[in-house]
């Protein structure tokens, strides 16, 4: 498992400006939120979804990372230069350390993307299965990833979650 930091510092090809971290308070479903503006990228992050390539990270794009309390995922919303939602990624993780100086997670490889067209797409599922088969991850971590994925898919089936997350994320970036 690798650590992933809120400011993308483990991704050397991305330069961030205007990183903001905000605690959400006791009454919120989220421990906090981090917002980022992409200033420079060496290579765009492109995700192929059902035969169509979509740009998720590029110069001028905005990213909102929501850190739910007591969950094994974070929610990452990607917006283009015009504040249009590109997609929402549920990054499935073993642990979230939001209280650290720079929030980080221990990634379990499996991601679920909810597109602006309400499509649900699994990313890195083969990588997770191969890691399990080759004993690079423990059975309990593999099962945690699968259970969390099922939970996310069940919540996203109606599409209501897409609009709710989009609205929260836009509010976080001042739109």
- Label residue 104 left, alpha or beta by phi (over 0 means left) and psi (-120 to 50 means alpha): beta
Phi-psi region of 151 (alpha: psi -120 to 50; beta: other; left: phi over 0): alpha
Q: Which residues contact 114 (CB under 8 A, 6 or more apart)?
A: 87, 88, 89, 90, 120, 121, 156, 161, 162, 165
Domain chopping of the chain, boundaries: 3-172
CA separation for the pair 173, 162 (Å, rounded): 17
pLDDT tens, per residue, the chain with 175 residues: 788 888 887 777 787 878 899 998 888 889 999 999 999 888 888 888 888 898 999 999 999 999 999 999 999 999 999 999 999 999 999 999 998 888 999 999 999 998 878 888 998 999 999 999 999 999 999 999 999 999 999 888 777 778 889 899 999 988 6
**Separation between Cα atoms, residue 65 and residue 89, nearest integer Å:** 9
In Å, how far are 91, 115, 168 from 49, measured between CA atoms? 17, 9, 24
Q: Which helix (H) or strand (E) holds 22?
A: strand 14-23
CATH code reported for the domain at 3-172: 2.40.380
The pLDDT of residue 175 is: 67
Listed as own residue / partner, the contacts of 167-172 with beta carbons closer than 8 Å and 24 or more positions apart are 168/64, 168/66, 169/64, 169/66, 169/77, 169/79, 169/85, 169/88, 170/79, 170/83, 172/22, 172/33, 172/35, 172/64, 172/66
Measured CA to CA, the distance from residue 69 to residue 28 in angstroms comes to: 9
The structure's pTM equals 0.92
């Amino acid at each position: 498992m690798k650590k992933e930091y809120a400011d993308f510092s483990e991704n050397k090809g991305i330069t961030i400006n205007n990183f903001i971290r905000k605690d959400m308070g006791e009454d919120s479903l989220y421990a906090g939120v981090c917002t980022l503006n992409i200033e420079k990228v060496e290579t765009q992050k492109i995700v192929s979804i059902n035969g169509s390539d979509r740009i998720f990270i590029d110069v001028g794009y905005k990213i909102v990372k929501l850190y739910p309390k007591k969950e094994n995922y974070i929610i990452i919303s990607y917006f283009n230069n015009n504040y249009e939602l590109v997609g929402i990624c549920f990054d499935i993780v073993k642990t979230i350390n939001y209280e650290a100086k720079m929030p980080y997670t221990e990634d379990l490889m499996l991601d679920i993307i909810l597109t602006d067209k309400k499509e649900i797409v699994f990313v890195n599922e083969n990588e997770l299965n191969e890691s399990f088969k080759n004993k690079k991850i423990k059975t309990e971590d593999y099962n945690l990833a699968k259970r969390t994925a099922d939970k996310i898919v069940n919540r996203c089936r109606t599409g209501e979650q897409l609009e709710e997350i989009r609205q929260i994320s836009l509010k976080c970036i001042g739109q």
